[in-house]
Structure 1
Amino acid sequence: MAIWTMIFRKMAKNRWLQLNLWFGLTICVALFSSMPLYSHAILQRTLFKQLQQLQKDQGIYPGSLRASTSISGTRSFDEIRSLIAKADRYMINAPARFGLDAQSYVITRGTQSFRVMPVDASDREKRELNVSGSFRTVSDLEKRVHVIDGRLPDPNRKDGVYEVLVTPKFIIDLKRDLNQEFVYKNKETGKELHLIPVGIIESKSDNIYDQYNVESYNSSFYIPYKQFDHDFVQNQGPLKLSVIAWQYAFNYEQMNIDRIDNYLGQFASINNYFNMRLGISAVDMPAKNSIATYTEKQEKLDVMLWSLYSPVMLMLAFYLYMAANLIIERQKTEISVLRSRGASRMQIMFVFLIESLLLGALALAAGPYIGVYFTKILGASSGFLEFVQRSSLDVVLNSDSYKIAIAAVCGSIILILVPAFLATRTTIVGHKQQMARSNKMSFWHKTGADIILLGVAIYMLHSFNQRMDGLKALALDPTAIQVEPLMFFMPALFSLGIGLFVLRLYPWLIKLVFWIGRRWWTPALYSTLLQISRSSSQYLTIKVFLIMTVAMGLFSANAARTINGNMEDKIQYTTGSDIQLSVHWDNDKPPPAAVGGGAPPPEDTAAAPKVVTYTEPSFITMQQLAGVDTAARVFRKDDASFAVNGANGATTLYGIDTYDFGKVAWMRGGLLQYPINSYLNLMASNPKAVLISRSLADKYKVKPGDPLSAKWAGLDSANFIVYGIIDYWPGWNPLPAAGDKDDPEVRLPNLVVGHLSYIQNHLALEPYEVWIKLKKDTTSAVLYNDIVKKEIPVENLVDAEQLLIRSKNDPFRLAINGVMTLGFVISMMISFFGFLLFWVLALSGRTLQFGILRAMGISFLQIIGMLLSEQLLTSAAAILFGVLIGNSVSSMFVPLFQLSFSASDQVPPFEIVRQLSDYVQLYSVVGSMIIIGLLILGIRISRMKITQALKLGEE
């Protein structure tokens, strides 16, 4: 009991230190526990959004499951009936096996096809009329179809005539009205089957779950399900069964990524069950392709999260070690006294272990819940230190979070106990000797850790640069790499290594400054320079802390901004404007020939394809759409050809209105030699003027002023004059589909940009795109609604805003933005507390020194000046080093992120993005931390009592 009393008294005595240590442990637990929470929550939301998008894009309900099978003619009727009953029982339990609620369940069955003839058919009709159909049924038929004419069949009719439902198209093919009798005669048995269409049906459109379309089975006679089951399944009817299908609509919102293996396994089981059981089978689940990749995505995201968190973990390890070391340093006298009075090292370690376990238990109690809050912050991040009003992530604490949290606590306790274990070797004499030798070299510099870390980071950087060159040389697609985890860990290693190396040299610089001005320094500055030069190892931890915080903060900001900026630039450049719109043009194009039908055209006809005549829709209507600021006509012909300097080749031909195009087109600065509007103004002076791509100019030795002709199939050439040479153009990819663009053997795409009116007048009028720039603060929904209202026949629409939103919701991009933001915020928090902890304890240890200085006549303002100069030479210097190192690290390591982008798709080229607001935010946070810290330190110094300090000295 005595030992517990001692532990609690000791913890109470050092309560502020213990509180700082508990804070570090709690943040550590929260950070680690948030990793599985975020990975699960973001992938869960991404899966849900992806399934929603599948339904929106393809009109398919993503929760559907359909199993269909033909009926083999080699099996006996009794065997088929038994197998169908077993299959029905098997499928009825599918929701329980999948663990999903069924929104609907549809069973469809059909017979073999047979030829029908009107009972009153004429001889000519008997010869020429060839209409075939099959009996078909759907469970709950009356709930799934809408009778547009006639009535529902009567299943209790006793005269042997089947009352059936047909589609509008089929009733036309039958060439009879409703209530006209038809007959089918079996040539082998001579038996007849009579049927009467009594109703015309269409699919109900208000049920999104069934996805059963009667129009897809036009040649069908629909009868009630019970009647079909009795006459053709339970009993051997006049027709044989042909096909059976079971279709579920599961509630896909209940799909959980933890059960993905179960979903895929159940899908495979159904596939195996029906494989050749009744006949040829097919099982389809639209969500399968979406969920099949999620196990791999989760593994990659987990690896990325570990790599993203690694710099923050390094900071937390520093913080915990520093806090533990400061606590131990404060208690070294007590430890040495206990050792001198016979306490063993294990007994002392047991005391510190109990303290650590108590703090760890408290951190474990609060940390996971803070981790939930961290996860929600990650979900709301859209950029570095940028947050949006996005629907919150569905976060639930699970066993994985607590397992990782417990592992984090155990690791942290071991880290905390290391300085305690080292301190237990110290005797009273040794402790006094160490206090007298405060200028000894630190452990990091003794072991050369800075040189080792620098060497490792530089070697890894060299390896990555070689890999990047190899990817370009081999024309490989680097998208498979995605984001290499080491790309986040290497900068942390380099920052730590270069920071330690700079701090190895810094004390010598201080000594040099001290030596140069030793005759002129004021007493306060003299004392400060002497203190820093002689006790450099004392300040090492806090300086490394600040260097790492600032350097990694700058790297995180630049890395996140670069990844976001390049992805957004790629979308904007590819789209060319806010919206690309293509509408239907009426034309005299012949319909496509039937597959396998008709004779091949003569050779001379094939050589001269018919020129299609198009009717241009009103462009004014496009300009007057709601939300449109400017609209431009942009004609693109990808299969055009050109002739220049006696040579010819393939090219993409653009036709534009220079004035309108300049208003709507998006172009990143620096891609062209001159601003894009300068090229457009140059073209505007001559209708024959064209701009050509650098690839065309270099290969065919074309220069401004040269004549050039262009055309496409079936047309005569039109003459142009080259006015300028360009490297990029909105919407055009100058990179080859495969291979290195610098390889002379690789064919590069060509581009010719001319006047749309000239191309239409001298070549042909063909459909063009409408590029739209929206009004400021106008969303594309306004435009969509007006398009629907005016019934404009849109054939294709590309919305840059929607593409940007999808990109921002990508789980890997969310992880990068969220974790880098969270990491920076946590780094700032622990740096602030670490800064205060270090300086408060340092000042407490120098109470006697300040008291003596005050007794010697140094004023309070001079002591504040001494403290300020000490801060400038330690903390401010460390921040300055952090800025320099952070910029260097960004320049060296951020370019590696282009490995995450496909080399063939990265247009415009990869560019490091730095934004002034990020630097302002970083410096504001760091500056506020230093100012608040100095104010607190100043208040503590003002409250010092000189008499107590001198009395302490006498003792």
Structure 2
Amino acid sequence: MALWTMILRKMAKNKWLQLNLWLGLTVCVALFSSMPLYSKAILERTLLKELQSVQAQQQVYPGYVRIESTISAETMTEKTTAAIQKADRYVKTIPGKLGLDGLSFYQQRFTQKMKVYGADASELEIKTLNTIGGFKTLSDLEKRVHLIDGRMPVDRTDGVIEALATQKFQLATKRKVGDALIAESMEGDGARFRVIIVGTMDTDKTADPYLPYLTTDNPDGLLIPLSVFDREFTVGRKLRLSEVEWRLAVNYEQLKVGNIEQFVKADAEIRRYFRGRLGSEEINIPARDTISSYAGKEGKLNVMMISLYSPVMLMLAFYLFMTANLIIERQKTEISVLRSRGASRLQIMAAYTLESLILGLSALAAGPYLGVSFTKVLGASNGFLEFVQRSALDVTLTSGAYRTAALAVAGAIILILIPAYRATRVSIVDHKRQMARLTKLSFWHKAGIDIALVAIAIYLLRSFNNRQADLERLALDSDSLQIDPLLFLMPAIFSLGAGLLVLRVYPWFIRLVYWLGRRWWPPALYNTLVVISRSSGQYLTIKVFLIMTVATGLFSANAARTINDNMESRIQYAIGADIALTTRWQSDAPVFSASQAQTGQQQTEAAISNKRVQYTEPPFVPFQQLNGVESAARVFKKAGARYSISSNDKNGATTLIGIDTKEFGSTAWMKDGLLDYPINSYLNLIASNPKAVLISRSIAEQANLKPGDPINVYWDSLDRAQFTVYGIIDYWPTWNPLPGRSDGKSKVEQPNLIVGHLDTIQNRLAVEPYEVWLKLKPGVSSDQIYDELKDRKVTSLRDASQQLVLSKNDPFRLAINGVMTLGFVISMLISFFGFLLFWVLTLSGRTLQYGVLRAMGIPFLQIIGMLVSEQLLTSGAAVIIGVLIGGMISELFIPLFSMSFQTADQVPPFTITYQLSDYLHLYSIIGIMLTIGLLILSFRMSRIRISQALKLGEE
């Protein structure tokens, strides 16, 4: 009990220090717990949205399951009947196997096709009438069909079968409702049934919103109740069944990330069960591919979250270590006294362990709830330091989040206990000796950790650079946006190592400054230089902390901006304008039937090549007159064109692009800096000559061409047309200049490009379909353009704005923007609290010193000057070093993020993006932090009473 009393009293005595330590622990727990929470919440939201898009695209409920199987048995046997009944029971267990609730279900069965005619039909009518249809059944018949005429069928005992039929089939029998029909087998088994169509029916779309029964799926046949069908055919086996079908609707909104593996396994089990059991099966689960694509995504996203959080975690570790170290520094005298009076190291460590457990458990109680708030902030991010009114993530605390938080608390407690363990090794004599002079090298510098960290970071940097060079040289692809955790850990390692390395030599720089001006420095600066040079060790932690804060903050800002800018530039470059579309052109190309199409694509191409297809160009003016369109351009692209050079017999394949220079310049999107001159300069260059073309640098190097040289262009069997080279380009909207492997070839091929006038290409070569590019007016949405394009016979459409929205909603990109934004804000807040805590405690420890200085007659303003100069030479210098290191790691490590994108599609090339607002945010926060800190310190200093300070010194 005495131990608990001592711990609580000690915590109350240092309540502000304990509060800061608890704050760091709580933020640490919140960050760690937010990782699994975010991964689960964002994947479930994006999965739900993708499943909803399945419904929009395929017009089918996302939880739809359809199982169809033919019956391979030539005659119905007891074994076949048992297999069908067993399959019925199995299908009813499918929702449970998928881990979802069933919303709707029905089954259908179909017999062999039969000849249907009136019971009173003559021989001639029987021979001439060709109405074919079998018996079919539907579960819950009376609930799923809409009765147009007549009544529902009932079970009769006189051998007559009552049925429903569509109006189309009833009219095909040439009999009215209520007339008797004969259904006669066409397989020679002599089976004949007397049937009466007692009603005509249609689809009842309001009966079931999930699984409406569509009569259009199978309009021919006689629909009878399931009980009658099973008695007569499934069990009675009077006719051979040709097909059975089950349809289910499960609640896809219940699908969670943790259930994906169960869903995938159930899907495989269903397919395995029906494979060959009754006949040839067809299983249709439209959401299957979408759901399967999420298998394993949670693990990848968690790894990425750890890599994104690694710099912030490292800073939190520093904050906890610094706070714990400051607490122990204030209690070293107490610890050394306890040791001198017989207390064992184990007893002292037990007390500090219990104290840390109290803080850790309280942080564990509050941290996960703060983690929920962090997760919601991540879900609202739309860019770095940008938030939108996006629907809130559905976040619920899970056992996984608490396990992660508990591990974080355990690691933090171990980190906090390190200073206490080191303090128990020092006697009271050693402690007094250390307090007299603090010029001893720190453990970091003694062990050479700074040099080791920089060396490790440089080694990893070289390894990544070599890997990136191999990917580009061999035209290989890395996985799209699968970020290696080391890409974020390396900058943190380098900034820590570089900061420690600079601080190794910084005291010598201060001594040099002191020595150079020791005769002229004013008293305030003289005292500051002496204190910093003699006691540099006490400032090491806060300086490293500030360097890490500023450096990683700048790196996070620049990395997030760069990734966002390059992803958006790639989308816009690949499309070329706001919207790119193609329309249906009239031509004299032969039309092939489905049977002809099955003979193969080669025969089709051969038939077309015998005669050149003549196209009729549709009017282009209507696109220019669309409301909301600022400009429109015709862009012809021919991937299979060829070029030849008469002077040196050089030739090769190329992509040919035909444009109208004025339209194209007003419509196309092009990133600045990709060409030697602005793109409009190239367009103006060729505008004056209809035969002028621009060629890619690859053609210029292969064929030794320069401006002014002639070049021939043609394709297929066309006559060659001569053009004149006016310029050489490296990039052009939508054209990928990177080498690649085409058609599975092992050889890396260099793409070629020729850009010319569309009118000249059409006049001298051929008229073929082109794309229409649209540039929208500011504020105009794509939906407005879609409404106007409904009657334009659009065959394909690419929309840059829609693809940008999809890109921004990608879970991995949301994680990048959200975590970096959150990390930046947390880093700044933690830095402020750490800065304030350090200097308040430092000032408190110098109460005697400042009191003596005031007693000696030093004016208060000079003491403030000492404080300001000390701040500038410690915190200010750390900020400047942090800015320099932040810029250095941005230049060194951000280019490595290009490996996270598909190498073959990384056009425009990956470039680092800096934004002035990020630097202004950083400098503003640091300036406010230093200003508030100085004001608080000055206020505390002004309240120091000389008599109390001297009395404290006497004690």
Paired position in structure 2 for 1:521? 521
* 1:819-898 equivalent positions in 2, closer than 5 A: 819-898=819-898
**Partner-residue secondary structure (3-state), 1:294:** coil
Find 2:735's aligned residue among 732, 736, 743.
Answer: 732
Inter-CA distance 354–177: structure 2 relative to 1 (3 Å threshold): same
Partner of 1:661: 664
Task: Compute the displacement of 1:187 (Å).
Answer: 5.7
Distance 2:394 2:355 in 1: 36
Instruction: Name the residue aligned to 1:543.
Output: 543
Match of 1:641 in 2: 642
Contact 1:381 1:814 in 2 (8 A): yes
* Structure-2 residue corresponding to 1:685: 688
Structure 1 residues 573 and 82: alpha-carbon distance in aligned structure 2, compared to 1, 3 A threshold: same
1:42 maps to 2:49: no
Q: CA deviation at 1:235?
A: 2.2
Q: Give the 3 Å change call, closer, same or farther, for CA 419–597 of structure 1 in structure 2.
A: closer
Structure 1 residue corresponding to 2:754, chosen from 746, 752, 755: 752
Contact 2:740–2:748 (Cα < 8 Å) also in 1: no
Q: CA distance change for structure 1 residues 536 and 598 in 2, over 3 Å: closer, same or farther?
A: closer
The amino acid of 1:677's aligned partner reads N
Compute the TM-score of the two structures, normalised by the length of structure 1. 0.93
Question: 2:101 — aligned with what?
Answer: 101
The residue identity in structure 1 corresponding to 2:771 is E
**What secondary structure sits across from 2:519 in the alignment?**
coil
Higher alpha-carbon deviation: 752-761 or 418-427:
752-761
Q: Give distance in 2, aligned partners of 1:933 and 1:593.
A: 81
**Aligned equivalents of 1:683, 1:910: Cα separation in 2:** 29
Report the Cα distance in structure 1 between the residues aligned to 2:383 and 2:608, rounded to whole angstroms.
55
- Could you say if the C-alpha distance between residues 474 and 686 of structure 1 is closer, same or farther in structure 2, counting changes exceeding 3 Å? closer
Distance 2:431 2:48 in 1: 62
Deviation at 1:687, TM superposition (A): 2.3
Task: Give the direction of change, closer, same or farther, for the CA distance of 1:175–1:156 in structure 2 (3 Å limit).
Answer: closer
Shift of 1:923: 1.4
Which 10-residue stretch deviates more, 592-601 or 636-645?
592-601
Pick closer, same or farther for the CA change 1:154–1:709 going to 2, 3 Å.
farther
Q: Which residue of 1 aligns with 2:908?
A: 908
Deviations 1:217-275 (A, max 9, x none): 455554454443343223223x3111111111112111111112222232233233333
Secondary structure of 2:905's aligned partner: coil
Please state if 1:491 is matched with 2:494: no
The match for 1:215 is 216
Maintained 8 Å contact 1:479/1:900? yes
How far did 1:290 drift? Answer: 2.2
- Check 1:182–1:670 CA distance in 2 against 1; reply closer, same or farther (3 A cut): farther
Give the fraction of aligned pairs with identical amino acids, expressed as a percent.
58
Give 2:251's aligned residue.
251
CA distance in 1, matches of 2:447, 2:485: 27
Q: Offset at 1:739? A: 8.5
What does 1:792-807 align with in structure 2 at a 5 Å threshold? 792-807=792-807
Partners of 2:448 and 2:635 in 1: CA distance: 63
**Matches of 1:36 and 1:522 in 2, distance apart?**
57
CA pair 354-731 structure 1, distance change in 2 beyond 3 A: same
- Matched residues in 1 for 2:586 and 2:116: separation? 40
Q: Could you tell me which runs of 5 or more consecutive residues in structure 1 were left unpaired when the two chains were aligned.
A: none
- The answer to whether the 8 Å contact 2:155/2:161 transfers is no
Q: Tell whether the 8 Å contact from 1:609 to 1:713 is kept in structure 2 after alignment.
A: no
Question: How far apart are residue 717 of structure 1 and its match?
Answer: 4.1
In structure 2, the CA distance between the partners of 1:215 and 1:752, relative to structure 1 (3 Å rule), is farther
Q: Find the counterpart in structure 2 of residue 774 from structure 1.
A: 776
SS of 1:655's equivalent in the other structure is strand
- Change in 2 beyond 3 A, CA 1:197/1:696: farther
For residue 132 of structure 1, report the CA deviation from its aligned partner.
4.6
Distance 2:821 2:611 in 1: 60
Query: Contact 2:144/2:212 (CA < 8 Å) preserved in 1?
Result: no
1:744 Cα deviation from its structure 2 partner: 13
C-alpha separation in 2, matches of 1:896 and 1:164 = 68
Deviation at 1:125, TM superposition (A): 8.8
Q: How does 1:127-142 map to 2 (within 5 A)?
A: 132-141=132-141
Give CA deviations for 1:366-394 in whole Å, capped at 9, x if unaligned: 11100111111111112222212111111
Which amino acid is 1:359 matched to? L
Asked whether the equivalents of residues 164 and 201 of structure 2 are also in contact (C-alpha less than 8 Å), the reply is no
Structure 1 residues 665 and 339: alpha-carbon distance in aligned structure 2, compared to 1, 3 A threshold: same
Task: State the match for 2:25 in structure 1.
Answer: 25
Classify 1:185/1:394 alpha carbon distance in 2 versus 1 (closer, same or farther; 3 Å): closer
Q: Distance in 1 between the 2:585 and 2:895 partners?
A: 46
CA–CA separation in structure 1 for the residues paired with 2:768 and 2:119? 54
Look up the match of 2:764. Answer: 762
Q: Tell me if structure 1 keeps the 8 A contact 2:113–2:185.
A: no
Report the Cα distance in structure 2 between the residues aligned to 1:194 and 1:322, rounded to whole angstroms.
93
AA matched with 2:753: L
Decide whether aligned partners of structure 1 residues 189 and 277 sit closer, same or farther in structure 2, where only a CA change above 3 A counts.
closer
Give 1:574 deviation, angstroms: 0.5
- Could you tell me which residue of structure 2 aligns to residue 58 of structure 1? 58
Using a 3 Å threshold, how does the CA distance of structure 1 residues 597 and 380 change in structure 2: closer, same or farther?
A: closer
CA contact (8 A) 1:119 1:183 kept: no
Contact 1:152/1:165 (8 A) holds in 2: no
Most deviating of 193-202 and 521-530: 193-202
Deviations for 1:296-345, whole angstroms, at most 9, x for unmatched residues? Answer: 21111111111211111111111111111111110111112222222222
The question of whether the paired residues in 1 share the 8 Å contact of 2:114 and 2:183 is answered with no
- The two structures, once aligned, show a CA RMSD in angstroms of 3.0
Q: Gaps spanning 5+ residues in structure 2: where?
A: none
Q: Is the 8 A contact 1:453 1:493 kept in 2?
A: yes
**Residue range with higher mean Cα deviation, 534-543 or 112-121:** 112-121
Which residue pairs with 1:946 in the alignment?
A: 946
Distance verdict in 2 for CA 1:744–1:26, change over 3 Å: closer
Decide whether aligned partners of structure 1 residues 308 and 415 sit closer, same or farther in structure 2, where only a CA change above 3 A counts: same
Partner of 1:236: 237
SS at match of 2:496: helix
**TM-score, normalised by the number of residues in structure 2:** 0.93
The corresponding residue for 2:709 is: 706
Verify the 8 A CA contact 1:511 1:529 in the aligned structure 2. yes
Q: Structure 1 residues 407-416 or 440-449, which shifts more?
A: 407-416
C-alpha spacing 1:125/1:736, structure 2 compared with 1 (3 Å): farther
CA distance in structure 2 between the partners assigned to 1:786 and 1:347 by the alignment: 81
Cα drift, residue 631 of structure 1: 1.8
Q: In the TM superposition, what is the alpha-carbon distance from 1:198 to its structure 2 partner?
A: 8.0
Aligned equivalent of 1:632:
633
Question: Contact 1:475–1:739 at 8 Å: present in 2 too?
Answer: no
**Aligned-pair distance for 1:675?**
0.7
Per-residue deviation, 1:92: 2.2
2:479 match: secondary structure: helix
**Within 2, Cα distance between the matches of 1:753 and 1:137?**
63
- Flag the 1:647–1:227 CA change in 2: closer, same or farther, 3 A: farther
> 1:153–1:661: structure 2 CA closer, same or farther, 3 Å change rule?
farther
What amino acid does structure 1 have at the position aligned with 2:631?
T
- Taking a change above 3 Å as real, the CA distance of residues 429 and 478 of structure 1, as seen in their structure-2 partners, is same
Mark the CA change 1:627 to 1:326 in structure 2 (over 3 Å): closer, same or farther.
Answer: same
The 1:185/1:84 distance shift into structure 2, 3 A limit, reads: closer
Measured against aligned partners, the alpha-carbon deviations of 1:706-741 in whole angstroms (never above 9, x if no partner) come to 33343444544444332222211111222233299x
Contact kept, 8 Å, 2:76 with 2:240, in 1: the verdict is no
- Within 2, Cα distance between the matches of 1:697 and 1:142? 75
2:616 is aligned with 1:588: no
Match of 2:610 in 1: 609
1:758–1:308 CA distance, 2 compared to 1 (3 A): same
Cα deviation per residue 1:853-873 (whole Å; 9 max; x = unaligned)? 112222111111111111111
How far 1:604 sits from its partner (Å)?
13
C-alpha distance in structure 1 between counterparts of 2:608 and 2:636, whole Å? 25
